[in-house]
Amino acid sequence: MFALHGHIIYSESKDKLCIKENGYVICEDGISQGVYDTLPEQYKNITVKDYGDRLIIPGLVDLHVHAPQYSFRGLGMDMELLDWLNQYTFPEEAKYKELTYAEKAYKQFVEELRHSPTTRACIFATLHTEATYLLMDLLEEMGMKAYVGKVNMDRNCPDYLREDDVSEAIRETKEWVGNSIKKYKNVLPIITPRFIPSCSDLLMKGLSQLQKETGLPAQSHLSENPSEIKWVQELCPDSTCYGDAYDRRGLFGLYGKTVMAHCVYSTEEEIEKMKENGVYVAHCPQSNTNLSSGIAPAKKYLERDLKIGLGTDLAGGHSISMFRAMADAIQVSKLRWRLLNTKETPLTIEEAFFMGTKGGGEFFGKVGSFEKGYEFDAVVLDDTSLLHPQELTVRSRLERMIYLSDDRNIYAKYIAGCCIV
Ligand code: GUN
Ligand code: FE
């Protein structure tokens, strides 16, 4: 049991940012016991880690990231989704068949993640089971809490990156799920059909059945790019929208928590279906900009009370920083408001911070806040390098961290009560 002392900032709701200057947040058995002005009587004798004038926020949640794509971030940003997948992504992911390559690349990704403000992540690996275990081993060792998906894909992809026997793919995925649940404490498996174009109906049926049997969460991509959406319509003529194609295949929140990345072009019907089924949106503004996908209506999703968090979507996105994802979300919302829809006002700092903490955190349970009962994920920020001639408010200092921070500003990091940096 211990307390952290400093300027404590957390979201209560999308509109309510709570700030406790010179406050205490208490951790008992990995769970927050709440935020206080002074230490309550029963905690008088616990250890206090005094972080002085530094900011203390909940750990940030990356709701959508591709670990094997970390290696080529910042490259191949001259294409739209489908060409980018064929020319850059699939050739790179194929390299993870070789465990020596996978180990080298995944170690670099995990090391950078350690020094980032991220404490939880929903991660795509590749279709290679052995390399996926390797990634899970590294994350587990680091103390990261993560869902990791062995990717399933069996059609419309190159021979060198395809599962060519569906029953074998399902058998192997089941075995990986069973082993992972037994083997890891911090890391959990997540069912991961890449997206409708690369998954046959038979594969989807097997994965839906697996979700029904295990109750595990699922992750995929939805309504990201106009050519992709048109392709899904051709592949699934029976479906009324892209989300309906997942729904008809039993992978749209029917048997477990489900998160869909992008949702740039979701129709009214698709939005309603996400709401009804409790499907989470992973808003990935930097990727949507880099791949010229578009601007997702994040403000509308918040106003409609959809479940929503932020994702870096490496390597569609080039930055691993979830602060950067917050800044990008705000910036693109301004363009959407100015250029596309004057009714959708720009996202506020409060809303962006909410999505990057409590909004995405909900996918992991009681995560992303310091309210009593939440898992204790905390990041201590040192902003002394950001010079300013005047004293700033704590809220302004947070705003500057969102726009200006890098890993040098991460002073300490706790995940589920354990100090890992
Ligand atoms: N859709 C299917 N696969 C991918 C991927 O790897 N990245 C992105 N951004 N979209 C996808
Ligand atoms: Fe993605």
Instruction: State residue 387's pLDDT score.
Output: 86
In this structure, the answer to whether residues 71 and 96 fall within a common structural domain is: yes
Going by CA atoms, what residue is nearest to atom 7 of ligand 1? Answer: 316
Of the three residues 346, 364, 382, the one that is the final residue of a domain is: 364
Q: In sequence order, what E strands does 14-100 have? A: 16-28, 31-36, 47-58, 60-66
- Residues around ligand 2, an ion, CB closer than 5 A: 261, 313
Q: Whose CA is nearest to atom 3 of ligand 1?
A: 194
Compute the distance from residue 346 Cα to the ligand 1 centre, in Å.
26
Query: What pLDDT is attached to residue 134?
Result: 98
Share of the chain above pLDDT 90, in %: 99
Q: Which two tokens stand for residue 305?
A: 């009370």
Classify 83 as helix, strand or coil. helix
Same domain as 401, residue 300: no
- Total of domains in the chain: 2
Torsion angles phi and psi, residue 274, rounded to 5: -65, -40
Instruction: Please state, in angstroms and rounded to a whole number, the distance separating the CA atoms of residues 317 and 291.
Output: 9
Nearest to residue 61, comparing CAs of 117, 126, 1? Answer: 117
DSSP track, 156-221: SS-GGG----HHHHHHHHHHHHHHHHHH-SSEEE-BEE--GGGS-HHHHHHHHHHHHHH---EEEE
Residues 399 and 297 in one domain: no
Calculate the CA 9 to chain-centre distance. 20
The three-class DSSP label of residue 32 is: strand
DSSP helix/strand/coil, 285: helix
Whether 102 shows a pLDDT value over 90: the answer reads: yes
Q: Looking at residue 223, what is its pLDDT?
A: 99
φ/ψ bin of 417: left (φ > 0), alpha (ψ from -120 to 50), beta (otherwise): left
Tokens of 206: 């097997």
Asked if residue 64 has its Cβ within 6 Å of ligand 1, the reply is no
Measured from the CB, is residue 145 less than 6 Å from ligand 1? Answer: no
What distance, in Å, lies between the first and last C-alpha atoms of the chain? 18
C-alpha 306 to ligand 1 mean position (Å): 22
On whether both 232 and 381 belong to a single domain, the answer is: no
Say if ligand 1 is within 6 A of residue 7 CB. Answer: no
Residues with Cβ < 8 Å from 144, sequence gap 6 or more? 110, 113, 114, 119, 120, 121, 186, 187, 415, 420
Determine whether the shortest distance from the Cβ of 81 to ligand 1 is under 6 A. Answer: yes
Q: Which ligand 1 atom is the nearest neighbour of the CA of 221?
A: 1
pLDDT digits (tens, 9 = 90+) for 217-257: 999 999 999 999 999 999 999 999 999 999 999 999 999 99
Query: 180 with 36, same domain?
Result: no
How are beta strands 378-381 and 410-415 bridged, if at all? antiparallel
Is residue 336 located within the same domain as residue 396? no
Backbone angles phi, psi at 221, to 5 degrees: -115, 145
- Continuous H helices in 215-278: 226-235, 242-248, 268-277
Query: Which ligand has its closest atom nearest to the C-alpha of 311?
Result: 2
C-alpha 85 – ligand 1 centre gap (Å): 7
Shared domain for 152 and 235, answered yes or no, is yes
> Measured in angstroms, how far is the CA atom of residue 288 from the centroid of ligand 2?
10
| 284 & 375 share domain | no
Helix, strand, coil fractions of the chain, as percent rounded to 5: 45, 25, 30
Distance CA 107, CA 113 (A): 10
pLDDT score at 181: 98
- Average pLDDT for 129-136: 98
Q: What is the mean pLDDT of residues 255-281?
A: 98
pLDDT value at position 108? 98
Instruction: Identify whether residues 187 and 304 lie together within a single domain.
Output: yes
Nearest CA to ligand 1 atom 8: 316
> What is the per-residue pLDDT across 55-64, written as a single tens digit (0 to 9) for each?
999 999 999 9
Q: Residues 182, 312: one domain?
A: yes
Mean pLDDT of the chain: 98
Task: Quote the ligand 2 centre to 186 CA distance (angstroms).
Answer: 22
Convert the pLDDT of each residue in 39-74 to its tens digit.
999 999 999 999 999 999 999 999 999 999 999 999
In contact, 416 and 368? CB cutoff 8 Å: no
Closest atom of ligand 1 relative to the 284 alpha carbon? 9
Which structural domain, as residue segments, surrounds residue 396?
2-58+369-419
Residue 179, pLDDT > 90, answer yes
CATH of residue 387: 2.30.40.10
Which of 79, 86, 224, 288, when mutated, tests ligand 1's pocket best, judged by the most ligand atoms within 8 Å of its CB?
224
Q: Residue 272: how many CB atoms within 10 A of its CB?
A: 14
Residues 34 and 150 in one domain: no
With a CB cutoff of 8 Å and minimum separation 6, the contacts of 306 are 271, 274, 275, 280, 281
CATH code for position 99:
3.20.20.140
pLDDT tens per residue, range 314-370: 999 999 999 999 999 999 999 999 999 999 999 999 999 999 999 999 999 999 999
